[in-house]
Amino acid sequence: MTGKDVEQRHEEQLKGSSDKGGIKGYLLHRAKPYLPPWLGVGSLGISGTVGHLVWSGDAAMGIGLTLGSVALTGAAWWAGKGVGPQRRLHSAITVAAGSVWFTSASIFDPSYNALFVGGTVTALTWNIRQIYRRDPDGVKAVTDGAGLLEKVGLAKALMQRAKVEPNRVTVPLLLEAGEQTNDDVSKALPRIASALDIPVTAVRYLPDPDSARRGELVVVPLDMLADTVRWEEAGPSLPGGSMEDPLVLGVYDDGQPLMMWFPGDREAGRNATHLLIAGMTGSGKGDGALNLLTEILSRKDVIVWLSDPKGFQDFRPLLPGIDWAVEGGAPTEAMVEAVLAAIPARTAWLGAHRYRQWEAICADEQTDPAHSCRTDGTACHCPGVPFLVSWFEEAGVSLSMLGDDAFNNIANLARSAGIALVVSLQRPSHDQISTTTRDALGSRLCFGVPNAMAASFMLPDTVIDAGAAPERWANRRPGYNYLVTPGVDEMRYSSPGRTRWFTDSALSLMEAVASWAARNGAKPDPVTAGAAASAVGKAYTERARHQEENPEEGDDDEETTVSRLDDEDLDIDPNEELPPPAPGEENVVFGQPDGADLTREEARTVLQDILAEFEADGTMVIGVVDVMAHGERLGRKRGWVSGELQQLLEDGRLTVTTKPGRYRIVPAMADA
């Protein structure tokens, strides 16, 4: 009987006749389910009286009835093996008591007082069980559960005691041995969702890794993600906290916080990780990135390097809090080279100070003798090394220029150096990013995708089998996502979450977060800054700084750079008219020399000048095509330039990069 049937019957009873006949019929109808125990007691009394008249004093019959009572009680216990332990015990006791009274009444005198008291108590206990068994809510829960498995083709599976939490029901399943596997349940999830009339993403199955026929069916009946939450209503979760604290990105569908960590934790058994963010246009990937970046900038022990080919369209209010921000092209190439140079420098520092991995105390001055780089056992007081997040937004654009394995070395080596790599792109397919790099990005934040194939690029097969299906949202539910990351219970991987929504009203709070980071956040440490400067020179040391120069005077966010002018030229006004030429200077021509008549040595000198100009402009990664843009000055063809670049590579003026045919300029003052 379903809940609908119970309600219909109750409605019919309420509408029934109210005369004597109707009341009598109603009472008899309600009493019917409770009559069998009483009829059993009455039948026992009659049969005992008849037995006494027939077998009174018959010793042989007494032995037979006693053995029959034992056999009947044992049969009742055996037959109840498929029911609950309480019902099984109750049935066996009832049969044993009735058999003993019948045997005693047949051989000796019937004790009707004992029958009255014992029979009444026994009948009432069964009536009490009947009341609970026929509770409409209980009937609905049990019957619907059994019927549910039968409808979806899992009739032989057993549903064990459910664990009920706020907006979450977890039901352990035991499948039929040899006939059903966990894969059968995973395939049945859409039918289960249909039977329960809930979204497919609200049902998932978590197989037991130690069994092929055990697991947990999780149902979240109410979608708590439907109500959009604005980021500015709460802001960062822990301003002034550490990168060791969780970064809260939003909520799961059962109301629990959606969070992750970048650094590892040996005590918690959590590995350090990188992050891959992906989702189709309109899926909310941009707001998800802002949730994460504002969380990072609100921490005291982290610096951020950001590459964004979109010209900081989403991140511009946060630029004052970012140590190094570049757009696409050559500056991004330089940033990749700087990160690669920072890895060995930082790991050497961590090793010298006896750290197996980055910890929060690494960002502070090293006052603990246990973490001293000195050999005499005293504190070294070395400046700390903050955590570094290297973020490549719209990485598909950068990878098309750098090559699909540009981040491979960073992804494989940076975790041990206290560096987290964040790669964000729309579709992380093999033609966009190498599978080696993708596999090394241990965490995945997957927003809506167009199809199941795109989902397979982001989510592990086990998570998809458990019910994760971001293609069912596509871009119709911005912000909905799945998060796979160390430190989070694996049963959460298939639970959808939602990041918070950034609106125009969030702008002022975003600027406040960036301003706090610029004033109170970590500053570049000598180890990281020195490695970046030695690798890319002025590309880092004269990087654009987006910060408030005079906040007391109300200056807005300005982009400033370190001046390249000599001290005696600082007072020159670039808008002032040039003075008239002195006598003898009228015919002086300023311009680039025509390289048509240059000797080989003169052309090499011009090539060195071109490299110096690239370096002065902060363009530290070049190729033949970049040099050929100055071909008129050289008067040489492409083959000659290519050969000279190879020679400069051998001389140490250039070094190779992750992409063939591209070279990094070694800063002229790198050794110094």
Is residue 420 scored above 80 in pLDDT?
yes
Residue 418 lies in a domain: yes
How many domains are there within the chain? 4
Residue 583 lies in a domain: no
Residues 84 and 175 in one domain: no
Query: Residue written as tokens 């598909």?
Result: 396
- CATH number for the domain spanning 638: value is 1.10.10
Q: Report the alpha-carbon angle 269-275-278, nearest 5.
A: 140
- Segment 159-167 shows an average pLDDT of 77
Is residue 399 scored above 90 in pLDDT?
no
Is residue 273 within 8 A of residue 420, CB to CB? The reply is: yes
Cα→Cα distances 45→52, 112, 411, 550, Å: 11, 8, 84, 102
Query: What integer pLDDT is reported at residue 16 of this predicted model?
Result: 52
Residues 43 and 154 in one domain: no
Q: Comparing 204 with 404, which gets the higher pLDDT?
A: 204
Among residues 73, 106, 133, which one ends one of the domains?
133
Could you write out the DSSP letters of every residue in 412-467? HHGGGGTEEEEEEES---TTTS-HHHHHH--EEEE---SSHHHHHHHS-HHHHHTT
Residues 249 and 199 in one domain: no
Query: What integer pLDDT is reported at residue 385 of this predicted model?
Result: 97
- CATH number for the domain spanning 472: value is 3.40.50.300
Residue 227 lies in a domain: no
Residues 47 and 120 in one domain: yes
Q: pLDDT (tens digit, 9 = 90+) per residue, 24-80? A: 766 777 777 788 888 888 888 888 888 888 888 888 888 888 888 888 888 888 887
Among residues 527, 550, 565, which one ends one of the domains?
527
Residue 456 lies in a domain: yes
Q: pLDDT (tens digit, 9 = 90+) per residue, 593-613? A: 555 578 888 888 888 888 888
The residues facing 172 across adjacent strands are: 216
Q: pLDDT (tens digit, 9 = 90+) per residue, 67-83? A: 888 888 888 888 876 56
Residues 297 and 338 in one domain: yes
- Segment 118-141 shows an average pLDDT of 66
Q: pLDDT (tens digit, 9 = 90+) per residue, 436-445? A: 899 999 999 9
- CATH number for the domain spanning 166: value is 3.30.980.40
* Domain that includes residue 456, residue range: 245-346+388-527
Residues 325 and 395 in one domain: yes
- The span from the CA of 268 to the CA of 287, in Å, is 30
Q: Which strands sit side by side in the sheet containing 302-307, from one edge to the other? A: 257-260, 247-252, 497-499, 480-484, 443-446, 275-278, 419-425, 387-392, 302-307, 324-326
Query: What integer pLDDT is reported at residue 520 of this predicted model?
Result: 94
- Segment 512-533 shows an average pLDDT of 95
End-to-end CA distance of the chain: 86
Residues 165 and 281 in one domain: no
Residue 512 lies in a domain: yes
Is residue 672 scored above 50 in pLDDT?
no
Helix (H) or strand (E) holding 260: strand 257-260
- The span from the CA of 64 to the CA of 67, in Å, is 5
Is residue 132 scored above 70 in pLDDT?
no
- Tell me the chain's radius of gyration from C-alpha atoms: 39
How many residues in total does the chain contain?
672
Query: What integer pLDDT is reported at residue 547 of this predicted model?
Result: 57
Among residues 511, 527, 543, which one ends one of the domains?
527
Residue 194 lies in a domain: yes
Residue 465: name the closest of 270, 220, 110, 215 by CA. 215
Residues 515 and 656 in one domain: no
Q: Side chain identity at 13, as an amino acid letter?
A: Q
How many helices (DSSP H) and strands (DSSP E) are in the chain? 22, 20
**45 φ/ψ angles, rounded to the nearest 5 degrees:** -65, -45
Residues 330 and 475 in one domain: yes
Q: pLDDT (tens digit, 9 = 90+) per residue, 303-333? A: 999 999 999 999 999 999 999 999 888 899 9
Residues 148 and 123 in one domain: no
Residues 458 and 492 in one domain: yes
- The span from the CA of 170 to the CA of 190, in Å, is 17
Query: What integer pLDDT is reported at residue 196 of this predicted model?
Result: 81
Residues 106 and 175 in one domain: no
Residue 100 lies in a domain: yes
- The mean of the pLDDT values for the chain is 83
Cα→Cα distances 98→15, 47, 66, 93, Å: 41, 11, 12, 9
Residue 628 lies in a domain: yes
pTM of the model: 0.67
